[in-house]
Structure formats: C-alpha cells, structure tokens
Amino acid sequence: MKQKVQFSKSKVENLFRHRGGNYYAVAKVDGKVRRKSLETPDFGLAKARLANALADLRGTVNSKHAGTIAEGITTESLRADPTIKETTRKYYQQIAVSLIKTSDSVPSKPADKKISKATLADLRAWMDDHAAKVSRTRYNGALALLRRTYARAIESQTVMRNLPDELDRLQPIDKKRDLPTIEDFARIVTEILSQKKAHSKAVAAAVRFLASTGMRISEAQAVRWGDITDSAIVIRTAKNDEFRRIPLTASARLVLDELRPVRPSGPADPVMPIKSPRIALEGACKRIGLGHLRVHDLRHIFATRCIEGGVDIPTIAHWLGHKDGGVLAAKTYGHIIEKHSDKQILKVDI
C-alpha cells in the first residue's frame, strides 16, 4: 500500500502544509529536517508567522537539551542575580511556586513542557488562568519572572524569541482607601494598648512610628539608633539602595523619646521594637468597627497628614522616597489634594 504524503510544498519556500490542514515551517538544521507547526490552516496567517518560526528552528541549536519551563522558572528565581535585591529574589521565589502550580489547571500543562516546545498559545492560556487567581500586581510579577526565564533560555540558545514579551502587563486597579481620621487613629492606638499584653506597648509604638515617618516597613526594620540625628532619620531606601533624609515630626520625636529609655539604644541597635504590627493592627480595627487597615496604610496616613498640613507634593514625594518628583504621589493622593484644596480656597480673600 502506498503511504500517504504527510506534507506538501506550498508556493512559499519553507512553508509546508500537513495533510491534516495546518501549515508548518520546515528547515534543515545541522543536517536534519526540522518542523514547527504554525498552528493555522490559513495560508495568509501561516505566511505571516513563517519568519519567526524559521528563526526559532535555526536559532535554537541547543533546543534538544532544553529543560521544562518549570525547571527554568525555578532556576531563575533562585539565581543570585547581582542586579536585583535579595528581597526581590525572595519575591520571585514565592511567585515561581504559585505560577507553576497554576499550570496544572491548564489542559496543556505548559510548565511541564520543554521551553523550546511551548507555544505562545500555551503561555497565553496559562497566564490568563493565573490572572484570574492572583492580583494584577502579582500577575505582573509572574510575567516579569517568565520573561527573565526566557531571556536566560535565549542566552543558552535553547529558544530564539522571548515569547512572554508578546503578553501584556495588567494595569493595577487604583483603589482609593478610606484612611482613619486623627481621632480614629488615636482610638486604634488606645485599643492596642488596652489589650495589656506583654508586647502591646511595643506594637502601639511601632504603629505610631510608621505613621509619623512614612517609611516602608522594610525601611523601618532597618533603621538603627545611629541613623537618627537631632532633626531627622537618615535611611537607606528599600527600592534603590540610596540614602534619604526624613525630618522628624513632633509625633515621631515623641515616640522616639518614649522608646529610647526602654530599648537598647546603641548606634547599631534597631529602633523598631517589633518586626511588624500587622496582626495587632488588624485586630484593633476589627474590634472597634473600623475598616481593614494594612501596615502599608500607615505610610499613606503620613502622606495624608502632610498634605493636610500644607506640605507641597514634591517634598512629600522626596520624604516617601519616590524618584519621580511627585508624579506618583499626585496620582495616589489626588483625591485628598482635591478635598484639601476645597478647604484651603476658603482662606483666600482677594
């Protein structure tokens, strides 16, 4: 019996049609004929995809040695990259676990495929599924890790193109959170102290310290008594390893004055009395009937009080450690600025 021809030539070089209908890119690489499906029976679409497919075939000289995407993601998340901070590397490690786990719920199980075999359709289905399970910020982190994984594969010549570059980042949802008033913030601190636990005073002090300085929690954890001058705190920023100076507010001075006598206060001793007040903060808000308040919201409280006090946006941005001169601060606190502006205009008399 005569065997049926599996592939037939088209009028375009290197473009063949399988008898099942789909087109393939076909090229001779290292003396062997290699094929890559273009995943379409449409001639025009196949022709448009041909160049990239040929580049993949001819450029991936080490594709036969490629590992799975899951292996690549794990390796990249653990890689000691000197261009990123240790906290970022740990963040990638967390993301790697959840991203690989999501792959199991996708029919094609992309993470289990060799990185040289996975298609853009595989990655799109995978990331679409992941987007439905995590926040937009977390999704963007996963996409960044996937792109880094493909970048390493390109360097090792196991793939030719960074397919995740074809996937779009998601725009984070801008949530306007209702922050506690000055009176409500005082109630939160009082409620924490009312628990009369061994660490209640330390927790309350940590909450006040964060709200009166605007520092990120990681920055506050790194502050030592030697970083505090008579008028300011000099800290290394969490995001770019540069130094910045935050003037001491009256409330920050008060907290420091309370902490110094009861805490080891040598130049190398930490100022923060506890690692994080998160659990106590959430519990206090719940007990007194206020909305959920995150530790990071204490930073927003500081910025809000500065705006209400008439501090200009570029200065606030500098204190917060923003590098854009106030663009992000203006966007984040625009609704507060507008509300404060309505009150300030009442003072104008021309």
| pLDDT tens-place string over residues 167-222 | 999 987 666 667 899 999 999 999 999 999 989 999 999 999 999 999 999 899 99
Q: Which of 147, 146, 130 is nearest to 138 (CA)?
A: 130
Given a contact cutoff of 8 angstroms between Cβ atoms, the answer to whether 248 and 235 are in contact is no
Average pLDDT, the chain: 88
Indicate the pLDDT class of residue 1, thresholds 50, 70 and 90. Answer: very low
CATH superfamily ID and name for 182-347? Intergrase catalytic core (1.10.443.10)
User: If you ran DSSP here, which 8-state letter would residue 67 be given?
Assistant: -
pLDDT digits (tens, 9 = 90+) for 217-261: 989 999 999 999 999 999 876 555 578 899 999 999 999 999 988
pTM exceeding 0.75: no
pLDDT score, position 40: 93
pLDDT digits (tens, 9 = 90+) for 292-334: 899 999 999 999 999 888 898 999 999 998 888 888 888 777 7
Which CATH topology does 69-166 take?
A: DNA polymerase; domain 1 (1.10.150)
Above 70 in pLDDT, residue 3?
A: no
The three-state secondary structure class of 40 is coil
Cα dist from 348 to 21, 144, 151, 312, 341, whole Å: 76, 49, 58, 18, 11
Above 60 in pLDDT, residue 283?
A: yes
Taking residues 40-60, what's their average pLDDT? 84
pLDDT score, position 349: 64
Q: Where are the domains of the chain?
A: 7-59, 69-166, 182-347
